[in-house]
Amino acid sequence: MGRIREIAFVAVISIIYAEAKAQVPPKVAIDQEQLIERLFPVQDEDIDYEAIYEVLFQLYSNPIDINKADSEILQASYLLSPEQISNLISYRNDFGEFISLYELQAVPGFDSNTIDQIIPFLTLGNESSNKTQSFWKRVKMEEQAYFLFRHRRVWETRSGFTPADTSSTGRISSRYLGDPNDLYFRFRIQHARDFSLGLTLDKDAGEQFTWDRKSARYGFNFLSFHFTRYNMGRWKAVSLGDFQVSFGQGLVFGAGYSLGKGAETVPTIRRSSVGITPYTAALEFGFFRGVGATYRYKNWQSTIIASYASRDGRIGAALDTLENTTEFISSFNQSGLHRTPSELATKNQFKELNFGTNLQYSNMNGKFHSGVNYLLTNFDQPWQRSLTPYNQYEFRGKTNSIRSLYASYNWKNFFLFGESATSQSGGNGTVLGFISSLSKQVDFSFLWRKYDRDFHSFYGNAFAEGTRPINERGVYLGLQIKPTLKWKINSYYDFFKFPWLRYRIYAPSSGYEWLNRITYQPNRNLIAFFQIRKEQKERNIPDSGEPALNYRIQTIQKTNGLLSLEYQISKDLFIRSRILFSKVEFNSKVTSGFMILQDVQYSFGAFRVTGRVGLFDAEEYENRLYTFENNVLWTFSVPAYFGQGMRYYLVGQYQFNSQLTGYLRFARTSYTDREEISSGLQKISKPYQTESTFLIRYLLHR
């Protein structure tokens, strides 16, 4: 009887929507803040969140075709459980293509909260571009086309912008070459699953705005561009310019980002083979520059990439036995900063050539995927690191190659996945795991990884405790429980070992990390949660001055907590209150940190204003507290706070007309425990720092 009712319900839906073909719910704006905080890694390191944000933004800028997406693509959204994905595919196989997105209500396991979350990222196949028109006409008429300009500045004078002085030895001190203005420009025109064309220009504070072909500075210090076409017959994607690649579990092609461990404890451990995506961030490393193309034939697809790009680094020189000078790369510069003569001297100092391939097979029902990766990287100068106790097994030389085999399988309510890779050095890296819906209320994830100390992957970004997949072994367990519609519990436990020495850890070491988060959401307007996380590692203790005691290690324990309450009082008024705390135990010393925040957002007419006031008191840098901050459009910030002081900001948005929108942000941090901020050329000889951000976006068509 239950099956008959289900078929009858589907029939009723089909009749209702038959006349309104491909009807879709009104497009809902993406709640970027909630999405970012849900998916992003726990903020306890200086992670490059901008790169993660840009890649996620690319995924969500191209809505998923619900009538064609397989389990791999659906999982890449991180918004659905294995059970929900399995139910959606089974429903589609049983009843045919979706007539309307409203039909999701008939899929078992899709409640109203799930549908509200996923709708902004879905589309129906016949919503794609009208390809009966010529390509250039589609480009000309595309609505998703805009210019964006952003200006940022710290208004207090840093030491790097003061006049240079002369020391007693006659040496002139270094200063920044440019002004304190941070300038950013972006042009973008795209249509989901059809094309994307973009240009990004960036100048950091302290860099010169100058035209100098020798140092590749054309006004702005950094220029990025891309042109990508999708679904041209059998060509799934063709990209020219700057792009990233993601296949397997990120051991070879990691697309420059890794979600890893965060409040979403189950789905984010698994990577997805999303293939070639445009590169749109302003970071000056971690992307390919050249051409990439994916060709598909039946159940097979093959990808080839070729990249040739300049990279930043410091050049060293050595004399051989015949007193001939040999140049080499002594270090990379991944900061992207070229403010001083010394930093500018690292710009585009060597060339990097990459050639890569991928071959992937997917079965007819889209539940099994398998593939092979290969990437060859060649530098025009050899890379010779200065030897330290911990980097003896790091890459050295001019050429590195890495190859891997990966597979994933959606079996009932289980996602099984894995990848194993070998680099030219002989070092191996392996990731194995699964994600499962044990019941309607319980989701579980497991991941095991092993990365040798001589495993070298320049574009890999697999799940790891460290910043790179090297010198690590570990096991991760994740759990999500929804006992009722109002309550949700997220937990994970991660145990890891480092078989060889690491930076600041001059001995083999181990550690663990766990997180618990309890969320209460009685309705759409109120969300409250409490989160606590503890991490234990080992670290060198400070040098005592006694030679026999050099490089001793000791356990360091960090505990962080967060209590949050968010309430949508009315359509126009939103408030958020948060309390953060931290405790660190190391070398027989216990330190703590505390922060309290109050956010208010109010909309009236064409205006929207968001404000925050926060008080913080963190004893040491190790107690620093990371917290997400509102910013202007497509600008992301998760700053760290330590010391004593107050932080407040105000963000205003005004829509002048349907094409022009302006954003303005004012922020200040005032300290009560110091008379100056930072050090070196970044030093501000005042106890406060004031920042402003101005952004204007112009839509070409509306």
The beta strand positions in 482-588, using DSSP E, are 487-498, 509-523, 526-540, 553-568, 573-586
Vertex 25 angle, CA 19 and 30, to 5°: 160
The 3-state DSSP class for residue 208 equals coil
- pLDDT at site 133: 80
Task: Say how many C-beta atoms besides its own lie within 10 A of residue 8's C-beta.
Answer: 10
pLDDT value of residue 18: 42
Beta bridge partners of 429: 421, 451
Specify the length of the chain in residues. Answer: 702
pLDDT average, residue stretch 473-481: 97
Task: Report the alpha-carbon distance of residue 130 to residue 671 in Å, rounded.
Answer: 57
Determine contact, residues 198/189, Cβ cutoff 8 Å.
yes
Q: Is the CB of residue 495 less than 8 Å from the CB of residue 472? A: no
Inform me whether the pLDDT recorded for 178 exceeds 70: yes
Matching residue, tokens 């990279």: 311
d(Cα 364, Cα 313) in Å, to the nearest integer? 47
pLDDT band for position 13 (cuts 50, 70, 90): very low
Question: Which residue in 612, 620, 614, 581 sits closest to 596, CA to CA?
Answer: 614
pLDDT at 387 (0 to 100): 82
Q: Which residues pair with 667 in a beta bridge?
A: 649, 691
Q: Is 121 left (phi over 0), alpha (psi -120 to 50) or beta?
A: alpha
The two tokens of residue 668 are 């200040």
Least Cα distance to 677 among 155, 139, 100, 108 occurs for: 155
Dihedrals phi, psi of 465, to nearest 5 degrees: -75, -35
569-586 pLDDT per residue, tens: 999 999 999 999 999 999
Q: Could you tell me if 314 and 331 are in contact, meaning their C-beta atoms sit under 8 angstroms apart?
A: yes
Which has more pLDDT, 531 or 170? 531
pLDDT of residue 511: 96
Q: Looking at residues 232-239, what average pLDDT do you find?
A: 94
Instruction: List the one residue out of 395, 370, 373 whose CA is nearest residue 384.
Output: 395
What CA–CA distance (Å, rounded) separates 480 from 53? 24
- Asked if residues 463 and 474 have their Cβ atoms less than 8 Å apart, the reply is no
Residues 480-484: contacts with CB under 8 Å, at least 24 apart: 480/265, 480/266, 480/442, 480/443, 480/444, 481/441, 481/442, 482/440, 482/441, 482/442, 483/441
For every residue of 258-315, DSSP letters joined together read ---SBSSTTGGGS----EEEE-----SSS-EEEEEEEEEETTEEEEEEEEEEEE-EEE
**What pLDDT sits at residue 21?**
41
Q: How far is CA 490 from CA 445, 493, 533, 619, 628, in A?
A: 11, 11, 11, 30, 20
| Paired sense of beta strands 64-65 and 122-123, if any | parallel
| Measured distance CA(496)–CA(536) in Å, rounded | 10
Residue 662's DSSP bridge partners are 654, 696
- Residue 58 binned pLDDT confidence (cut-offs 50, 70, 90): low
Average pLDDT (293-309) is: 96
Worst-scoring range by mean pLDDT, 4-18, 27-41, 330-344?
4-18
Tell me the average pLDDT of the chain: 87
Share of the chain above pLDDT 90, in %: 56
Cβ 437 vs Cβ 83: under 8 Å: yes
Please tell me what DSSP assigns to residue 541. P
Could you read off the pLDDT of 354-395 as tens digits, one per residue?
Answer: 999 999 999 877 789 999 999 999 999 998 888 888 889 999
pLDDT band at residue 240 using 50, 70 and 90 as cut-offs: very high
pLDDT at residue 290 tops 70: yes
pLDDT for 549 beyond 70: no
Q: What is the pLDDT of residues 345-355, one digit of tens each?
A: 999 999 999 99
Whether the pLDDT of residue 617 is over 90: the answer is yes
Say which amino acid occupies 366: G
How buried is residue 193: exposed, middle or buried, by Cβ count under 10 Å (0-12/13-18/19+)? buried
